[in-house]
Structure 1
């Protein structure tokens, strides 16, 4: 949707290529997966990024961000660096979620689904059972994003 030319980079088994890999701590991986942290390219410096919270004025910060990091590139380039296009799309999605407050809505939907766990399904049809099933299947398969 944001850049159809990169669809082939994340389709099928290509999603697991090194250009789509980042080595992050568990907590930073969670923040990145939740679109709370993004990588912004530093101008005129190849493979160098400012890593910062998407919501730059957030009160609670588990990491001292922003920081600038140059990504390690192997001399023979046998491991591709992360795709700048995918990092930029990720950053754009994070900004949209933050600025539109859609992220908060998504968090509420997920919390509602978690509250369904072991709880009753309402006979009036108000339970989001389809969304809950998608969420639980994605959790079981280890997916961090549900589309």
Structure 2
């Protein structure tokens, strides 16, 4: 959606290639996976990034950010470095989620799905069964 040309970078088995991998602490991995932090390239310095929270005014910081890091590249380059393009796309998604407040909506949707998968349906009729059914039908058509 953000870069149709980049879809081949994570399509099928390519998603498990080193260019789509980062070694992070548990806390940073969770923040990265939730689109709460991003790697922004540092101009004219290859494989060097400024890591910071998407929301620079964020309260309750788990990690002391921002930091600037240079990623280790093996001398013979037998291990691909993380893809700068995928890091840019990740950053863009994080900014859109933050600025649009869509992230909160998605988090609520996922919590609702998890409650339904555990068999919890609200008696007051607020359970989003239609969303759950459409989501599950979509997931089934992908497999």
Fold match (TM-score > 0.5): yes
Structure 1: any 5+ residue segments left out of the alignment?
138-147
Which is worse superposed, 93-102 or 27-36?
A: 27-36
User: How many pairs are equivalent?
Assistant: 135
Confirm or deny: 8 A CA contact 1:113 1:131 kept in the other structure: no
Confirm or deny: 8 A CA contact 1:51 1:65 kept in the other structure: yes
Displacement, 1:126? Answer: 4.0
Structure 2: any 5+ residue segments left out of the alignment?
none
The secondary structure found in structure 2 opposite 1:50 is strand
* 1:141 equivalent in structure 2: none
The secondary structure found in structure 2 opposite 1:38 is strand
* 2:48 equivalent in structure 1: 48
Displacement, 1:27? Answer: 1.5
Confirm or deny: 8 A CA contact 1:20 1:83 kept in the other structure: yes
Confirm or deny: 8 A CA contact 1:2 1:89 kept in the other structure: yes
- What RMSD, in angstroms, separates the aligned Cα atoms of the two structures? 2.2
Displacement, 1:132? Answer: 6.8
Find the aligned partners of 2:128 and 2:23 in 1 and give their Cα distance: 41
Confirm or deny: 8 A CA contact 1:52 1:65 kept in the other structure: yes
Confirm or deny: 8 A CA contact 1:35 1:93 kept in the other structure: yes
